[in-house]
Structure 1
Amino acid sequence: MAKTSDDDERVFFSEAPIQSIAKARSAEKPHYHGHRDRLRERFAAAGPGALPDYELLELLLFRLIPRADTKPVAKALLARFGTLAEVLGAPAARLEEVKGIGPAVALDLKVVAATAQRMARGEIIGRELMSTWTQLLEYCRSAMAFEDREQFRILFLDKKNTLIADEVQQVGTVDHTPVYPREVVKRALELSATAIILVHNHPSGDPTPSRADIEMTKLIIETAKPLGIAVHDHLIIGKKGHASMKGLLLI
C-alpha cells in the first residue's frame, strides 16, 4: 500500500525525536561527571581530612549546582574570602558577587553555616564551660568571627558555671557596639545567672582589645560585683584568632 503524504508526515515527526534522543545518549557526558564520582569515592574512602578546602567545598556545591563544573566556583570563593570558614561566614550578598553563585546557592551555603553553628553550640549548651574552653572558642568563632558588624554577646552561667543562656545583646557598626552595663546586669539577674562571659567580635580581624573595650569591661565588672555576679572573661573574636582579657591580665 502506497504511503500518503500524511503517512510521510507522521514518520517524519515520530522518528526525528527518537533520532535526537539516540544522538544525545551517545554524546559524551560532561567532563566533570567522572571527577565528581572520583571525589566522592575519595571522601568515602579517606574521609574529609584527605581533601583540601576547595575539594570539600566542591563536594558541597555538587548538590547546590548539579549541572555545572563546580571546581572553578569553589576556587573563586576561596580566592575571594580566604578559607572555607570565611566562605560559609560571608554575608549572602557578598557570596552572590562570585560568578556562579546565585541567590539560591548563597542561601543554601548560609543554611550549611547555620547548621555548623548549631552543632558547635550543642557542644557547650548545658555543660560546665570552664572545662570546655576549646569548644566555647570554636562556637564563638563560628557564630561571630566573620560577621561584618560588631556583635556583643553574653553567655550566662549558673553556680556550676553551666551555660543557661546565650544572647546577642547589641549589634553595632563595623567598629563600635554600644554596651550598657546596667542592662547587662539586669538581664543576668532576670536569668538568675551568677556569672557571665562577655564576647564580642572585631570585623577588622584583629582581636586586640581597644582601650574602650577594657574600660567598658571594667565598668561591667564594677556594676556586677556588688550583686554577686562574676565576670569570668571578655573574649574578643577575630577572623584570625581571639583575645582573652583575663588571659592578657587586663581584668
Structure 2
Amino acid sequence: MNQKTFDELAPKSEPDHKGHRQRLRQRFRKTGEQGLADYELLEFLLFSALPRQDTKKIAKAMLQRFGSFPAALAAPRERLKEIPGLSDISIDAIQAVHAAVIRYHSAGLERKQMLGSWQTVIDYLQAAMGHAGVEQFRVLFLDKKNALIADEVQQTGTVDHTPVYPREVIRRALEHSATAIILVHNHPSGDPTPSRADIKMTRQIIDIAEPLGITVHDHIIVGLRKNVSFRSLNLI
C-alpha cells in the first residue's frame, strides 16, 4: 500500500466563495434587500444558477456593463451572453426575475379603472419598458368603464424607431370591443420628449378612432427614469 502524503490526508478546505455566500445569506435574512448593495443582490440571484462560481465578479461586471440594477435585469439575452461566466441557465434566472417584476406590477392593473390607478399604470410600464434596448409600441385597450381588456405590444423596432400602423391599432381596438385606448412607447435613449413623428402618429390614430367612438385617453412615452404624458402636455 502506498503511503499517503500529508497533503492527501489533510482536510480539504471549502472554496472561499462558499463562506461568502453563507455570510450574504445570513445578512439578507437579517436585513432584507436593504442590507445588500446592488451587486450583492445580483450575486444572490445567481447563487442557485451558478453553484460553483464566484458570482461577485459576474455581478459587478453586469452593473458596469448595463449601468444599474434594473437595467441589468432587463438586459436582452444576447447582451447578457457577453458577460463572462453567465450561462444560459443563469440568464434564464435573471430574465425570470425581470418577468416576475413585470407580472407583479401587471397584477395591480387587473379589473381596475385605469384612469383612477394612474401610478399603478406608470409603475407597470416603467418595469416593462423603461430599460428596453429597442423601441416598443404597445396599446392598452379599455372597456366603457376604463378597465383593462388587453395589453398588447403592437410593434418592436430599433433603438430609435418603431413602425406604427394607425389602422392596425384601431382594427385591434374594434376586435377587442374597446371604447378607449392608451398608447405607449419607449425611448431607449432615456429622453421621453415627443418627436414630431410621435405627435403626427398620435394625431392620425385619434382622427381614425374618433368617428368610431373610440377615445384615445393618452399617449405615454416611457424614458429611462421618467415618462411623458401627451395629455399633460396638451398634445391630446
TM-score (norm 2): 0.92
Q: CA deviation at 1:57?
A: 0.8
Q: Which whole-Å deviations, capped at 9, do the CAs of 1:18-60 have from their partners, x for residues lacking one?
A: x94x53xx12222222221121112111111222211111111
1:62 is matched with 47
Q: Which whole-Å deviations, capped at 9, do the CAs of 1:71-124 have from their partners, x for residues lacking one?
A: 121111101101111001111111111122123322321122122212221111
Matched residues in 2 for 1:47 and 1:106: separation? 23
Matched residues in 2 for 1:37 and 1:131: separation? 45
Matched residues in 1 for 2:224 and 2:45: separation? 22
RMSD of the alignment, in Å? 1.9
2:142 is matched with 157
Identity of aligned residues (%): 53
Structure 1 unaligned regions, length at least 5: 1-10
Matched residues in 2 for 1:77 and 1:205: separation? 19
**2:122 matches 1:122:** no
Q: Residues 206-221 of structure 1 correspond to what in structure 2 (within 5 A)?
A: 206-221=191-206
Larger radius of gyration: 1
4+ runs deviating over 4 angstroms: none
**2:235 matches 1:247:** no
Q: Which whole-Å deviations, capped at 9, do the CAs of 1:189-229 have from their partners, x for residues lacking one?
A: 11111110000111222111101101111111121111111
TM-score (norm 1): 0.87
Matched residues in 2 for 1:50 and 1:231: separation? 44
**2:206 matches 1:224:** no
Matched residues in 2 for 1:69 and 1:172: separation? 36
